[in-house]
A and B are shown apart, each in its own frame.
Chain A
Amino acid sequence: MRTRNSTPCHERRAQALAVACALLIVGSIAPVAAEQSPREVVQSTSDQVLAVLAEKDLSKEARRDKVRTIVLRSVDFETLSRLVLARNWTRFSPAQQQEFMQEFQDHLAATYGRRLDDYRNEKVAIVGDRQEPNGDWTVRSKILRGGGSNDVEVDYRMRKSNGEWKVIDFIIEEISLVANFRSQFQDIVASGGPEKLLQLLKEKTAAGQEFKS
């Protein structure tokens, strides 16, 4: 816990740190089972993913499926979907909401899953974490690809749900996935309604499937 010269700004930070420490102590006294911190969640998830990627005898399909399962375990996909649709969420019927979550998940799995095939023993380094004003945590990581600007920065926005820290946004090179898809989906839902968005997602995923093999 470093504190620096006492400019007001740093004082505030020091105070925040003190409060955080106090909370941590109180939290550790409370008889809660070993709960993973946001950072630990990211660490263990990326360890598991890298372990799967290191298995050389897996087929591409099996590898993707395994990774998908591991990643989804630490993602609060409903919150992520709600954030992506924002106020449009309520324009979707409960059935459409479920359908959206499924389609969106498939879409992400198809597009980002493709990149798993290019895995070249890159390592992941967690480079920092911080609490956000609203209580969320951001865990910052880097995919190491030779240093400097070749490395890819990936931040995970985490929120506690049912006592567990889960990812609610992926920020790649300072570009939030939630914000980006929200922006794309807003216009689509505004002009064509939920049906249009669901239809486009399906078409896109179908096109991706063909492309894949």
Chain B
Amino acid sequence: MRTEDSMRYRLLSTLLITAALSGHPAVAEETPGSPRPTSPIPAYGAAPQTVNQTTQEYDPWMGFNRKIFWFNDQVDNYVLAPVATGWHTVAPQPMQNGIANFFSNLRFPVNLFNDLLQCKPVDGAKAVGRFTVNTVLGFGGFLDPASELGLKPHDEDFGQTLGVWGVPPGPYLVLPVLGASSVRDAPALAVDSAAAITPFFIDGWILVGARVVDVINTRAQFLKAVEDAKAASLDYYTFVRNAYLQRREALIQDRAEHVAPEGVPSYENEELYTVP
């Protein structure tokens, strides 16, 4: 959806960066989750020092990340959230859902691209089916009749693809405006932008406008969720970091219910559920 010329270039350079960083003898394995000593109790020093994906996050740039996080929160508080709240008040919910569906439908090339890279031809075929059904029967994607036919939404992105290929998330990274990410997922955004097919005849300003509508409409769907998260957390930064990393891991493992209806894959997470 963004300008493509620079994308191609960025794609190359970011791939190199990802390769370099992910090939690095896995940063996430030995270093403790935060610069501060998390465990001052020597009694447990004997326990295996495996870093748990869901409980201890690798965040070596926390100082920097917190600054960006604060900045993003200000932007959200003063610009995005108020605009989204206005939109949420004005626009009827079906309209908001329709717009969300519309943009979700346009993600189809990205989903297909990544389904194929992850060797999931069936999911790829479903993505094609969804796109066809929703575009034709769903008034250009504003409705989602495909879900009723059993073709549930299943978003993939290149960060997930890298995860499926075995690339660890690496250090947690907060991107300006874009928010929570990781050294694996951030460059992958550029790959997805390149994979998003944008018809050449659509004017650039329309794309920008569409992007703005998409962002505001998406934010409007999460007004209460963000409010809740802020109320529930003692440290909002850590809350978001943990939630992001857990969610990404679940997406990579396709653990979500609509993806694995039988719920077969389990949380192989002995440590989390062992009472010390």
By a beta-carbon cutoff of 8 Å, the part of chain A in contact with chain B is 13, 79, 82-83, 86-87, 89-91, 107-108, 110-112, 114-115, 118, 127-130, 132-134, 136, 138, 140, 142, 146-150, 153, 157, 159, 168-169, 171, 173-176, 178-180, 182-188, 190-191, 197, 200-201, 204, 208, 211
Q: Could you pull out 30 A-B pairs where Cβ atoms are within 8 angstroms?
A: A79-B275, A82-B275, A87-B39, A87-B41, A89-B276, A90-B41, A111-B228, A111-B231, A112-B232, A127-B261, A130-B262, A132-B267, A136-B273, A140-B257, A147-B148, A149-B153, A157-B273, A168-B273, A176-B54, A176-B267, A178-B273, A179-B242, A184-B234, A184-B238, A186-B38, A186-B55, A190-B36, A190-B39, A200-B234, A201-B234
> Would you give the 0/1 interface string for B200-222, flagging 1 where the beta carbon is closer than 8 Å to chain A?
00000000000000000000000
Contacts of B97 in A (CB 8 A): 146, 150
Q: A149-B153, A200-B234 are in contact. Are A83 and B272 (CB under 8 A)?
A: yes
Category for how many chain B residues contact A: 35 or more
Could you tell me if A175 and B263 are in contact, using CB atoms closer than 8 angstroms?
no
Q: Which of B40, B57, B104, B263 has the most CB of A within 10 A?
A: B263
Point out the residues of chain A lying under 8 angstroms from B57, CB to CB: 183
Chain B residue numbers with a CB within 8 Å of A169 are: 273
Cβ-based interface call for B256 (8 A): yes
Query: Do the beta carbons of A140 and B235 come within 8 Å of each other?
Result: no
- Complex: chain B residue closest to A131, CB-CB: B266
Chain B proximity of A204: nearest CB distance (Å): 6
Complex CA–CA separation, A174 to B130 (angstroms): 24
Chain B nearest Cβ from A199, distance in angstroms: 10
Do A133 and B234 touch (CB < 8 A)? no
Contacts A111-B231, A127-B261 known; 4 new A-B pairs at CB < 8 A? A87-B39, A87-B41, A148-B152, A174-B250
A-B interface pairs (CB < 8 A), number: 144
Q: Complex formed: what's the CA distance from A13 to B266 in Å? A: 13
Query: How near does chain B come to A7, taking the closest CB pair, in angstroms?
Result: 13
Distance (Å) between the CB of A55 and the closest chain B CB? 23
Contact B238 A183 (CB under 8 A): yes
Given A114-B231, A190-B37, check contact A174 B238 (CB 8 Å): no
Q: Which residues of A contact B72 (CB under 8 A)?
A: none
